[in-house]
Amino acid sequence: MGHTRRRAHRVARLVAIGAVVCGGLMISQAAADGSPAHKSGGDPTRALGARDTRDAELARSLVDKLGTSRTAGGWIGTDGRAVVAVTDEAAAEEVTRAGARAKQVRYSMRQLRSATETLRAAPRVAGTAWAVDATTNKVVVLGDSTVSTDQWSRMKGVAAEIGGEVRMERTTGSFTTRTAGAEPIFTQGGRCSAGFNVTNGQAGFILTAGHCGPNGTPWFADNQGNTTVGTTVRSDFPGSDFSLVQYQNADLDQSSVLNVGNGQIVRITGAADPVVGQQVSRSGSTSGLRSGEVTALNATVNYPEGTVSGLIQTNVCAEPGDSGGPLFAQNVALGVTSGGTGDCTSGGVTFFQPVTKALTALGVSIPNAPASDGGDAAAGAAPTTPANGANGAGAPVAPGGAGGQVSPIIPGTQGDTSSLAGIVSYAESLGPGLALIGAGLLGFLATLVIRPGRRRYSGYSTRWG
């Protein structure tokens, strides 16, 4: 009986030590995880790490250097490495020397873009979309549930005339704009999400989706219209899908910080174009923070309201009210939500207006974004006045919060202790590990205080055994 108690005592001590070790490992893992928190019940997000960012930039630079006749796009492979599609052996060798992986394909980007131009010139069919899928070296044409059998047959005929570059696919649901972010903004009969704060050096603006409202649309912070946000001074839709809302309320935060929900914030330091396979996050006022990856670039979508081209295609879900909300990777702005199909229960396809194109067209930049950040000149371009001539919103309002110095840690995420939200998030991430360590230490102390009873035998030390 005494031996049994002593064995149980040793087992309890080993369990306590194991709990301390496991708790330490959990804390180490949590401390190393820098991804933003996500909406409860939503898809977990994974912000790009340094390796991902480097490979995305490498793929972009190689495609730009080799040109559209020798490459067919680049992407991030499942192993996180940059992959570039090439059309000849010399290009493949150059890609390999640069540290990326080459994949030799049949069609060049010039041929694939020619196929998309032919599709665009054909009679427009609402409910269809197409984009270059670099990973399969095809132009993928999607038809939603609103496309009739006859319309789909005509589209197939156009694809057959183009050749093997085109693949046809049907999808469920319907392609719609997502009007119904970060923060919600309201107008009469509609709601969108604020995308990114931008500036022309004199006034502060919100970059959001163009389909949210035409020039002169008033926006409010509440559904009752009690708190004014600003007025749309430039809108581009269809064709593109971006707009500029000039702030009229100087009390509102006009810094480069995104509020992505649950007390989490992300500081945007620049803008860039994504690559296929890149892990991205999106925030919207309806469905919160969601994540996924880029599946295609230069997508064209035939919404009922008109055709929009040059979009980013992703498998991130979105719902009505998420329109205009930000798409980003780590601290880099990538796009604003345009539309798509599906929802955040069943999943779907979502398209985004690239931020770089919008910044260039509007002559604005991310507040306090260093010119070297983001991988695109638009992010650090010299501020100019928006070229629309519409200043009916009143006198320019000086930008609000300056945004402070850029931190290498995303504020509000694990590892940030510069704000209350960051401290709370950091503590929550360490909580399970700390609890396990605490339980293990208490158990270990208990084994020291409570010693198993022993029967004493003559001639033997009571410490033996």
Instruction: Please list the active-site residues.
Output: 211, 241, 323
End-to-end CA distance of the chain: 13
3-class SS of residue 50: helix
Angle at the Cα of 95 (from 91 to 99), degrees rounded to 5? 165
Q: How many H-runs (helices) and E-runs (strands) does the chain carry?
A: 7, 23
Torsion sign across C-alpha atoms 269, 270, 271, 274 = negative
Q: b/e map of 176-188 (b: 16 or more CB within 10 Å)?
A: bbbbbbbbbbbbe
Q: At what angle do helices 149-162 and 109-121 cross, to 10 degrees?
A: 140
For residue 328, the tally of other CB atoms under 10 A from its CB is 27
Q: b/e map of 438-456 (b: 16 or more CB within 10 Å)?
A: eebeebbeebeeeebeeee
DSSP string, 156-177: HHHHHHH-TTEEEEE-SS--EE
What are the residues facing 204 on neighbouring strands? 199
| CA dist., res. 51 & res. 60, Å (int) | 14
Q: Side by side, which strands form the sheet with 190-193?
A: 190-193, 184-187, 218-220, 228-236, 242-247, 204-208, 196-199
